[in-house]
Amino acid sequence: MFLRIDHVGIACHDIEEKIAFYESKFGLRVVSREVNEEQGVKEAMLHIADAPGGGSYIQLLEPLGPDTPVGKFLAKRGEGVHHVAFGVPDVEDALRTIGGEGIRLIDERPRHGSMNSSIAFLHPKDMGGVLTELVQAAPEES
């Protein structure tokens, strides 16, 4: 069901500082930036590699406010890994299958994600303490 690790989401207080860190120390390249109001984040994708069905990235996340998923996470745990995202061929299919296994879905339906992907989250309490995201990459433009 999982094609690749699409991204690892990293929570931080200052996204510009963290982008500069990854660019200068490792030569990573920002391929997308977006403010996602629905998710309460400013995010940037740094490309690592091409992978089956999409790419593989580091996703840097700065909260838009304290009362957002990433804002609450930073207050409780500080900066660090926030979620792991797996690439799937079809996020609605994956949600049906995973929901059928009794794993709690945070999103019953796909939402808008980075680079026009469709995303959905699985509850960390049913995933060994790991907030898990499913990502269906946007179809390639021809």
Q: Which residues bind ligand V0V (CB under 6 A)?
A: 9, 36, 39, 41, 43, 59, 61, 69-70, 72-73, 76, 82-83, 85, 106, 113-114, 119, 121, 124, 129, 131, 133
Q: Which partner from the list Co ion, ligand V0V, none does 46 bind, CB cut-off 5 to 8 Å by kind?
A: none
Amino acid at 7: H
CB of 14 to Co ion, least distance (A): 18
| Distance from C-alpha of 14 to C-alpha of 17, rounded to nearest angstrom | 6
What residues between 75 and 94 interact with Co ion by CB under 5 A? Answer: 85
Residue with tokens 């990235």: 57
| Distance from C-alpha of 28 to C-alpha of 129, rounded to nearest angstrom | 28
The gap from C-alpha 5 to its chain's centroid, in whole angstroms, comes to: 10
Residues that bind Co ion (CB under 5 A): 9, 59, 85, 133
